[in-house]
Amino acid sequence: MSFFIFLGIIRFKIWTIGFGKKEIKMARIGYARISTNEQNLDRQLERLQDTEKIFQEAASGASRDRLQLEALLDYIREGDVVVVTELERLGRNNKELTEVMNEIQEKGATLEVLNLPTLRGIEDDNLRRLLNNLILELYKYQAQAERERLKERQAQGIAIAKLKGKYKGRKALFKQDDERLHHAFSLYLSGHSDRDVSKLTGINERTFRRYRAKYGVSR
């Protein structure tokens, strides 16, 4: 096969792949959050004016209820762009941020953070989105490394406490025969997601996943 025939086949394959791609309509969806000790949402809302829809709420750092964030995650579709003014609006710690960013990516959507300085002045939408995703991936890697270091320090602290006879362990929230926990397991086994179970029972989503793993509850 000659080089020119081979090149022609490659070009044809690229053309057919591009022709076969489904065109996805993109929507820009904003999310704004303030803690209860902040005054108002005006500054964030002003920066989110170019979005088609905005989810907004006031939630303190101690509160686990982020109803508008959950509504946003249910609302977004493939191709959408979630826009926030700062990354910390999506979560109070690295673990929460990583979970939310992963869920956005799993939906086929992308995240745009307006205060990332490296993206200012880039007019090409595709290039800006690519760089934005790269930065977020680096951030998630850094967050994961930080969590691993924290776990290592905690393990060292527990080991030292055990040697000194001072470690009693964390008290379990639920015993194996707890009715509320059994109800949550039943909901999960009937087809409800972890998020649904959390909403219906009031058990924290991460706590429920931990107890599922502990007692081997899976579908």
The catalytically annotated residue of 35, 63, 186, 193 is: 35
Phi, psi torsion values for 84, nearest 5 degrees? -130, 155
Does 60 qualify as catalytic in the annotation?
no
Q: Where are the alpha helices (DSSP H) in 66-124?
A: 67-75, 94-106
The whole-angstrom separation of Cα 47 and Cα 4 is 52
User: Could you count the other beta carbons within 10 Å of the beta carbon of residue 116?
Assistant: 16
Measured in whole angstroms, how far is the alpha carbon of residue 182 from the centre of its chain? Answer: 27
Q: Residue with structure tokens 């820009």? A: 28
Short-list 16, 17, 28, CA closest to 77 = 28
Q: Which residues participate in catalysis according to the annotation?
A: 35
